[in-house]
Structure 1
Amino acid sequence: MPVSSLPAVLPGTGGTDYARYMRTDELLALQKSPVDWVHPDELLFQIVHQSSELWLKLTRSLLSRALTHLSAGQAGAAELLVHRAAEALRLITEHLRILRSLPPAHFAVIRRALGNGSGFESPGWRLLRSATTELDIAFSRLLSSLRLTPADLYRGQPSDPLYRLAEALVAFDERIALWRTEHYSVATRVIGQGVLGTRHTPVDSLPALIAHRRFPTLWEARTALTQTSSPGACPRRVQP
């Protein structure tokens, strides 16, 4: 199909409206140029991490919108946005896999160009952490206002919008764990075990982060339900 000859009408730089709307001139200039590479695989390394920051920016926006809906009592709308945020995290995790093709010797060269830079300093991850904290607090407050504990909620009907939102939050938490698992797996494949990262943090400290939960009470509710159903435990009355 021939390219349209229609003139660009949007403001900005670029020869087409696509270039102006997507700001492709600026976007494609954000990576180091070939003359500045310490190794050609720097392009791969930068694009993977820069695109992750964009997806994290989207994820933060989705969770902020979910928080607004939750505060308005719209659990169903919040659930849909949390599911979309989880899908964004899935995509981030999948494109990390291409870094498995980065030869360790190549990264050893690239690493010298990183200074003390580390993924721990990611602004996208920092904003995502704050968004999940806000959602966790808001959801806990909502349950408290209804005089429900997370365990009470899970004794209810799976069709309940609050139950469904709780499960969406748990699924999102699982996506964070899977992302961290892939990060650790890729890191050890490229730089090995028993070494320090660029921030002088032991790579082998990463597995401890995998078990960290952003919505801890929803996970603790599962433990509580299991314990109360154990042999010899006193049955608890399901609230109406």
Structure 2
Amino acid sequence: MKKLKITTLLLLPLSFYGFRNFIPETIKNQLTAISFIYNVQVINPRDGQAVLLNDTTNFYYDTRYTIYELPYCRYYSKDSLDQNFKVTNYHQWIEKGTSFFIYNNVNPIGLMYDSLTVVKPRKMPVDSFLKAQMFKDNPFFAANNETLSSTSTENGVLVKKYSTINQYENTVADSCYYYFDKNLSDVKYSFSTYLDSLEHSKVFKMKFIFLKKTYKNKEFPARVLVFQIKRNDSVKKEVIDFYKKFMASKENY
């Protein structure tokens, strides 16, 4: 009996070690990873030229929570004045890191962590965050001002081209392309639930083409706006670390 007890005790640390290493793998396997990407040309008000803006937001979700990964790059400067009020010891530096926004899928309030080291997060309405970061409720498809002009297939992907009926202002695209993929139907994000329901599929990419035009005696350059979602195969370690820390905290709700 004594020998059996000793053997059992020796196995306990190994079992605990295995359990600790199993946790990250479990989290990684249960999280769905999606990237939201946009490449858009906007008009610079100073010179009227088109300027390219692009960004990627990665988000992850399971049956209970959704996590947004928000990389940041902050610029700082510091100086001091001598007795003659001249600048001395001027320093500037860059701080890079990642913020995280997490919310329970049935809760209207989420939590913003400015970094992994934050203990007390800021509360923020989920709806406000999604409108600012993910273009929530943006009218990407205007059913009353778009008419279907062609349907095609590109590499197994359904593409529907719409033309606008009334181009009464510069904010309306001349042509709109919507790309559908049934393999992404389970993704918990939608550019247009209306278009998704029409094709029983998922709009995963949109392209809006603006032709060069004159509006109210002002010239506007041609430009293109592209929005896309895609599935990722991996979950970053810092996301797993954040999720582990959150699940172990009292903020877990």
Q: TM-score, normalised by structure 2?
A: 0.25
- Which protein shows a greater Rg? 2
Where relative contact order (Cα < 8 A, 6+ residues apart) is larger, the structure is 1
Greater fraction of residues in helix: 1
Q: TM-score, normalised by structure 1?
A: 0.26
Greater fraction of residues in strand: 2
